[in-house]
Structure 1
Amino acid sequence: MAYYPIPFRDRFHPGPGPFPDHVLRLIHDLSTGIVVTDPNRPDNPIVYVNEGFTTMTGFRADEVIGCNCRFLQGPGSDMNTVALMRDLLRSRIPFTVELLNYRKDGAPLPVRLFVIPIFDPSGRLLYYAGIHHALSARPELPEP
């Protein structure tokens, strides 16, 4: 079980929020990796990861909260894709990229990353949510 220094609901929805507790619990327990970052703080640090992220990457929540997601990149990561992601984050639009990240143990982790900006009702950017879908090697199909 991952460690979280503040109650789960209080991270994003102090008091009664738009999402019932069972929806928040579902997000927390998904096997797909979910990361939330705060672009209003220096270096856009991670403020939340779910269980799927910790299982997928091998990093505990307390190891990554407060860090920028760059720690997932490594020698095989495509820096052109990384630069594109920076530009897309500045544009504040949803996007999808495929990227080679790395697990805590150094193993390659190819992912399809869906990034969604989260705005308040006045249009102010609050967070980015990143959904990490692990891509497995596709088996070769026999020739017909």
Structure 2
Amino acid sequence: MSRRRYKRKFSNYLLQPLLQVKLGLYAIVLALIFCLVMVWLFYANFYRFYDLVLELTDLREEVTSILDAYINEMVVWTLVATGIYFFVTVAMSIFYTHRLIGPTYAFRRHIQELSKGNYKSRVLLRKADAFAEVAEDLNQLATQLETNSQRRGNGD
């Protein structure tokens, strides 16, 4: 019998949308600030070069049209690259924050089960999830609580 692989819906990746978007926006904002600084440095230095070339040439109009076309092309490619970067960063931040936030749901369910006295409860995480060590510690705690509960039940 073949097992069908469970396919996740996109909405399942947004466990805590506000928190996940906030974490993703930090990365995006920092990267965009870096990009803006780099664009400003490029712009300032390029226009100094632009003015120097225009001073040294006799073909001012031809050179101006060539440089303006180059600048327009660079602006278009910069905007395209920024747009692609934005969407890739959003997708990656949703994916990775899901791996960080997902285990917290398993931890909360496990703690609720332990508080109800269900010491057989265990935390099961996916292979790529974060906090595997915490899950192991919680499972050891559940084992210890189960052992202590059995001892008390046996009158030890």
Find the structure with the greater CA-based Rg. Answer: 2
Q: Is the helix fraction higher in 1 or 2?
A: 2
Q: Is the strand fraction higher in 1 or 2?
A: 1
TM-score band by shorter chain is: under 0.3
